[in-house]
Amino acid sequence: MNNSCEVPETASPDPRASTGLGIATPPALVVRKYGGSSLATPELVRAVATRIATAAERGQQVVVVVSAMGATTDDLVALAGKVAIRPDRRELDQLMATGEQVSAAVLALALQRRGVKAVSLSGDQAGVVVDGPAGDAVIVRVDATRIFERLREAQVVVVAGFQGRDRDGELRTLGRGGSDTTAVALAAALGVSCEIYTDVEGVHTADPRIVRDSTPLPSVSYRAMTELAGNGARVLHPRSVALAERRAVPLRVTHSSGGEAGTVVENAQPLEGGPEVVGIAHERQVRLVRLTGDDAPRGRCARALVELIGIGLRPDVLTWHSPTDLRFTARGEPAPADVVREVAERVGARCEVDDGFGSISVVGTALLDDPRYLIGLLRAAAEPDAAVPAIATSPTRLTAVVPAKRLEAAVSALHRAFGLHQPQGTPR
């Protein structure tokens, strides 16, 4: 199985339809996705229902994908932890999938109260077929027949994101951020665009909670959005952007109030362009891990790394200091330090885990063609008398690991150093 990106499959194209499902696409159809912060309270749910009802009254047909309300997913994981030391992943999937199903049902009820015909569907009922392990499945096929049946009955279809059913009938979740991927997969299967509604008015040049003069980007390429999302920007999940690019699904990210134009994610860029910085991303949870082993037998560090990847740790910058000394960074929410040490000890390696770091990433195009970008990153990241512990470079991303206490200052310094505080269209 290829776990890098999901590819919804459809039936053979029918001349009557643009979707390849043998069913004509209803007019003015769009997929909307609402995140958990937009549905955190009954009042917010009613506000979302009002906006969807307004669209329906104007003749638009809507398929809505929802995340779990507020912190529901975290609460469910915490609940599992209170009854099991290491909860079984299958049962965790059964538990966590209920969060999105609650959101879907509650929003459908709110729409019905507004006089709008609406129905909630689980991922399975919506035709989402997945493959892969519990907690990290990928979408392999979408059968949108049932969705079209409901749309023909003039119903708003509310789909629980983050989940699907595999070929063995098992419920599987897609991992954190999976509702974004569900929305893009449905849009790809239906042959329509996808609108992501969240608590910010678009994709900003930096996190507006850190950099107050950051501004929304009117548009951004799929590739740049993938880099931003993969390095800490939480507006979109990187898997959803990769899928949108592969299936040419236009994305629009905007505030859940619907009052702003937001950011369009597409490939409307010139074939060639010079060096340019699009935005600054950051990650708060970064660990430096060092694995060491005896000369004989060889390969203990490599075996420890393979096992750690198998339990969910995602290494980023890897450096072999010697055949028996491997160092790397782990971003996001890696396995607890005691679990990392336990795995290393099981294969005969020693392990050191250093918490307290973050990462800052400059995202753009042709970044290695102009040395000023790397120099600017190093100046923002370095402390007096202290080296940058890890750095990674590519034409579209420059990343440095920094102490957590310097993270916000470094993000602000980079944003200003590269002129991102200036209005869009101002020469930089």
pLDDT at 254 > cutoff 60: yes
The pLDDT of 117-133, averaged and rounded, is 97
Helix (H) or strand (E) holding 399: strand 397-403
261 versus 208: the higher-pLDDT residue is: 208
**pLDDT tens for each residue of 343-375:** 888 888 888 888 888 999 999 999 999 999 999
Q: Hey, what domains does the chain have and what are their CATH numbers?
A: 29-266 (3.40.1160.10), 277-417 (3.30.2130.10)
- Give the model's pLDDT for residue 311: 76
**Most confident listed range (3-7, 120-124, 340-344):** 120-124
pLDDT averaged over the chain? Answer: 86
Q: What average pLDDT does this structure show over 95-108?
A: 98
Give the least confident one: 131-135, 357-361, 419-423.
419-423
Q: What local confidence, expressed as pLDDT, does residue 6 receive? A: 46
Query: Who's near 143: CB < 8 A, 6+ residues apart?
Result: 127, 129
Which of the residue ranges 8-12, 211-215, 258-262 would you say has the lowest mean pLDDT? Answer: 8-12
Please count the other Cβ atoms lying within 10 Å of the Cβ belonging to residue 184.
Answer: 31
% the chain with pLDDT above 90: 60
The residues, ordered by sequence, that sit 6+ positions from 69 with a Cβ below 8 Å of its Cβ are 36, 39, 40, 41, 45, 99, 102, 103, 106
For the cut 60, the answer to whether the pLDDT of residue 27 exceeds it is no
pLDDT on residue 328: 87
Collect all residues with Cβ–Cβ distance below 8 Å to 277 and sequence separation of at least 6: 362, 363, 364, 367, 373, 418, 419, 420, 428
pLDDT at position 105 over 90:
yes
Measured between its terminal Cα atoms, the distance across the chain in Å is 44
Exposed / middle / buried, residue 83 (Cβ in 10 Å: 0-12, 13-18, 19+)? exposed
pLDDT in tens, 187-203: 999 999 999 998 888 99
Q: For 170-229, how does the pLDDT look when each residue is reduced to its tens digit (9 = 90+)?
A: 999 999 889 999 999 999 999 999 999 988 889 999 999 999 999 999 999 999 999 999
> Residue 271 has what pLDDT?
54
**Strand 325-331 and strand 397-403: pairing?**
unpaired
Sign (positive or negative) of CA dihedral 45, 51, 57, 63: negative
Average pLDDT over residues 303-332: 81
Q: 370 or 296: which carries more pLDDT confidence?
A: 370
Positive or negative torsion for Cα 193, 254, 361, 73: negative
79 versus 323: the higher-pLDDT residue is 79
Please determine, for residue 47, whether its predicted confidence score (pLDDT) is greater than 90. yes
- φ and ψ of 261, to 5 deg: -65, -35
Instruction: Identify the pLDDT of residue 332.
Output: 60
- Counting Cβ atoms within 10 Å, is residue 328 exposed (0-12), middle (13-18) or buried (19+)? buried
The residue type at 85: I
Please give the order of strands across the beta sheet that includes 138-142.
138-142, 128-131, 163-165, 171-173
The span from the CA of 266 to the CA of 368, in Å, is: 23
Q: Measured on CA atoms in the order 45, 195, 408, 352, is the torsion positive or negative?
A: positive
pTM of structure: 0.84
pLDDT (tens digit per residue) in 72-83: 999 999 999 999
